[in-house]
A and B are shown apart, each in its own frame.
Chain A
Amino acid sequence: MARTLAEATRRVLGSRRRGTRSPAVAPSAGAGDAALVADLEVAIGADRVRADAAARYLASRDASIYREGNAGPVCYPDSTADVVACVQVATRHGRAVSPRGAGTGLAGGAAPLGQPVVLSMTRMDKLTEIDLDNGVAWVQPGIVNLDLTRALAPHGVHYAPDPSSQAACTIGGNVANNSGGPHCLAYGVTSAHVLAVEVVLSDASVVTLGDLTAEPAGYDLRGAFVGSEGMCGIATAVAVRLTPNPPAVRTMLLCFDNVSDAAATVSAIIAAGIVPAAIEMMDQRCVTAVEDFAQAGYPKDAAAVLLVEVDGAAGGVAIAGERIADIARRNQAISVRTAADDDERARLWKGRKSAFGAVANVMPDYYLHDTVVPRTRLVEVLESIYEIVDRHDLLVLNVFHAGDGNLHPILAYDSRVPGADERVHAAGREIIEMSLDMGGALTGEHGIGVEKREYMSRMFSAVDLDQQARLRASFDPHCRMNPGKVLPSAHSCSDIGALRASDAAGVWG
Chain B
Amino acid sequence: MHLGLNDDELVACVSCGLCLPHCPTFVITGRDTESPRGRIALMRAVQNEDAPVTDDLIRSMETCVQCRGCETACPSAVPFGHLMEGTRAALADAGRITPRWQRLALKGLRHRRLLMAGSTLLALAIRLRLVPTRRLGLPARMPLRRPPLRASGNDVWLFTGCVMDAWQRDVHLAVQRVLEAAGVGVEPTGGAAPCCGALHIHAGLESETKDMAWQVMAGLSGDDRPILVDAAGCGAALKDYGHLLGTDEARAFSARVFDVHEWLAGHLDELRSRHPVAPLDITVAVQDPCHLRHVQRAHQAVPEVLAPFVTRVVALDDDGLCCGAGGAYSVMEAELSRAIRERKTAAVARSGASVVASANPGCSLHLAATGLDVRHPLELVDQALSSSRV
Tell me the complex Cα distance, A33–B56, Å. Answer: 18
Q: Chain A residues with Cβ under 8 A from B38's Cβ?
A: 58
Judge whether B31 is part of the interface by a CB distance below 8 angstroms.
Answer: yes
Judge whether A290 is part of the interface by a CB distance below 8 angstroms.
Answer: yes
- Chain A residue with the shortest CB-CB distance to B52: A22
- Given known A54-B54, A55-B31, A120-B30, contact A6–B49 (CB-CB < 8 A): yes
A53 pairs with B41, CB closer than 8 A = no
Judge whether A63 is part of the interface by a CB distance below 8 angstroms.
Answer: yes
A361 pairs with B20, CB closer than 8 A = no
- Given known A14-B51, A22-B53, A357-B76, contact A57–B45 (CB-CB < 8 A): yes
Q: Chain A residues with Cβ under 8 A from B52's Cβ?
A: 13-16, 20-23, 53
B49 pairs with A354, CB closer than 8 A = no
Quote the shortest CB–CB distance from B253 to chain A (angstroms): 27
Residues 1-27 (chain B) with a chain A CB within 8 angstroms: 7-8, 11-21
Q: Chain A residues with Cβ under 8 A from B19's Cβ?
A: 168
B54 pairs with A22, CB closer than 8 A = yes
Chain A's interface size range is 35 or more
Quote the shortest CB–CB distance from B77 to chain A (angstroms): 7
Q: Chain A residues with Cβ under 8 A from B13's Cβ?
A: 360
- Given known A120-B31, A123-B30, contact A53–B16 (CB-CB < 8 A): no
Q: Chain A residues with Cβ under 8 A from B8's Cβ?
A: 364
Chain B 64-85, CB-CB to A under 8 Å as 1, else 0, gives 0000000000111110000000
B14 pairs with A5, CB closer than 8 A = no
B33 pairs with A104, CB closer than 8 A = no
Judge whether A462 is part of the interface by a CB distance below 8 angstroms.
Answer: no
Judge whether B60 is part of the interface by a CB distance below 8 angstroms.
Answer: yes
A168 pairs with B17, CB closer than 8 A = yes
- Chain A residue with the shortest CB-CB distance to B57: A54
Tell me the complex Cα distance, A24–B55, Å. Answer: 7
**Contact partner, B31, options A26, A50, A125, Cβ 8 Å:** A50
A165 pairs with B17, CB closer than 8 A = yes
- Chain B residue with the shortest CB-CB distance to A294: B75
B30 pairs with A61, CB closer than 8 A = no
Chain B at the A interface: SS class: loop
- Chain B residue with the shortest CB-CB distance to A290: B75
B49 pairs with A9, CB closer than 8 A = yes
Q: Chain A residues with Cβ under 8 A from B14's Cβ?
A: 63, 356-357, 359-360, 364-366
Q: Chain B residues with Cβ under 8 A from A138's Cβ?
A: none
A364 pairs with B12, CB closer than 8 A = yes
Q: Chain B residues with Cβ under 8 A from A165's Cβ?
A: 16-18
B30 pairs with A360, CB closer than 8 A = no
- Chain A residue with the shortest CB-CB distance to B39: A58
A17 pairs with B50, CB closer than 8 A = yes
Q: Chain B residues with Cβ under 8 A from A22's Cβ?
A: 52-54
B17 pairs with A50, CB closer than 8 A = no
Tell me how many residue pairs across A and B have CB atoms closer than 8 Å.
153
Judge whether A122 is part of the interface by a CB distance below 8 angstroms.
Answer: yes
Q: Chain A residues with Cβ under 8 A from B45's Cβ?
A: 9, 13, 57
Residues 7-61 (chain A) with a chain B CB within 8 angstroms: 9-10, 13-17, 20-27, 50, 52-55, 57-59, 61
B41 pairs with A58, CB closer than 8 A = yes
Q: Chain B residues with Cβ under 8 A from A414's Cβ?
A: 11
- Chain A residue with the shortest CB-CB distance to B11: A364
**Contact partner, B32, options A17, A55, A289, Cβ 8 Å:** A55
**Contact partner, A63, options B17, B57, B76, Cβ 8 Å:** B17
Quote the shortest CB–CB distance from A148 to chain B (angstroms): 12
Judge whether B234 is part of the interface by a CB distance below 8 angstroms.
Answer: no
Give the interface centre of A24, A27, A144, A293 by most chain B CB atoms within 10 Å. A293
Q: Chain A residues with Cβ under 8 A from B41's Cβ?
A: 57-58, 61
B50 pairs with A357, CB closer than 8 A = no
Tell me the complex Cα distance, A53–B38, Å. Answer: 13
A356 pairs with B16, CB closer than 8 A = yes
Tell me the complex Cα distance, A306–B30, Å. Answer: 36
Residues 168-206 (chain B) with a chain A CB within 8 angstroms: none
- Chain B residue with the shortest CB-CB distance to A125: B30
- Given known A9-B49, A102-B20, A122-B30, contact A53–B76 (CB-CB < 8 A): no
Judge whether B42 is part of the interface by a CB distance below 8 angstroms.
Answer: yes
Quote the shortest CB–CB distance from A16 to chain B (angstroms): 5
- Chain B residue with the shortest CB-CB distance to A53: B54
Quote the shortest CB–CB distance from A10 to chain B (angstroms): 7
A358 pairs with B76, CB closer than 8 A = yes
Judge whether A103 is part of the interface by a CB distance below 8 angstroms.
Answer: yes
Quote the shortest CB–CB distance from B18 to chain A (angstroms): 5
Quote the shortest CB–CB distance from B51 to chain A (angstroms): 4
Tell me the complex Cα distance, A86–B48, Å. Answer: 34
Tell me the complex Cα distance, A103–B35, Å. Answer: 12
Judge whether A303 is part of the interface by a CB distance below 8 angstroms.
Answer: no
B17 pairs with A52, CB closer than 8 A = no
Tell me the complex Cα distance, A421–B337, Å. Answer: 42
Give the interface centre of A22, A54, A59, A290 by most chain B CB atoms within 10 Å. A54
Tell me the complex Cα distance, A116–B310, Å. Answer: 58
Quote the shortest CB–CB distance from A188 to chain B (angstroms): 25
A293 pairs with B77, CB closer than 8 A = yes
**Contact partner, A16, options B17, B50, B74, B78, Cβ 8 Å:** B50
A9 pairs with B32, CB closer than 8 A = no
Tell me the complex Cα distance, A25–B58, Å. Answer: 11
Judge whether A167 is part of the interface by a CB distance below 8 angstroms.
Answer: yes
A167 pairs with B21, CB closer than 8 A = yes
Chain B 266-301, CB-CB to A under 8 Å as 1, else 0, gives 000000000000000000000000000000000000
A361 pairs with B30, CB closer than 8 A = no
Tell me the complex Cα distance, A238–B48, Å. Answer: 41
Tell me the complex Cα distance, A100–B102, Å. Answer: 38
**Contact partner, B21, options A15, A144, A292, Cβ 8 Å:** A144
Residues 222-275 (chain A) with a chain B CB within 8 angstroms: none
- Chain A residue with the shortest CB-CB distance to B8: A364
Judge whether A76 is part of the interface by a CB distance below 8 angstroms.
Answer: yes
B56 pairs with A167, CB closer than 8 A = no
Tell me the complex Cα distance, A65–B17, Å. Answer: 13
**Contact partner, A55, options B7, B11, B56, Cβ 8 Å:** B56
Quote the shortest CB–CB distance from B63 to chain A (angstroms): 12
Q: Chain B residues with Cβ under 8 A from A416's Cβ?
A: 7, 11
Q: Chain A residues with Cβ under 8 A from B16's Cβ?
A: 63, 104, 165, 168, 356-357
Q: A63-B14, A357-B14 are in contact. List 8 more A-B contacts (CB 8 A).
A: A15-B51, A26-B56, A27-B54, A50-B31, A50-B33, A63-B16, A293-B74, A354-B75
Please, could you name 12 A-B residue pairs with CB atoms under 8 Å apart, sorted by A?
A9-B45, A13-B51, A17-B50, A22-B53, A57-B51, A103-B37, A120-B30, A165-B18, A167-B21, A293-B77, A359-B14, A360-B76
4 interchain residue pairs of minimum CB distance: A122-B30, A360-B76, A357-B16, A358-B75
Residues of B within 8 A of A (CB): 7-8, 11-21, 30-33, 35, 37-38, 41-42, 45, 48-57, 60, 74-78
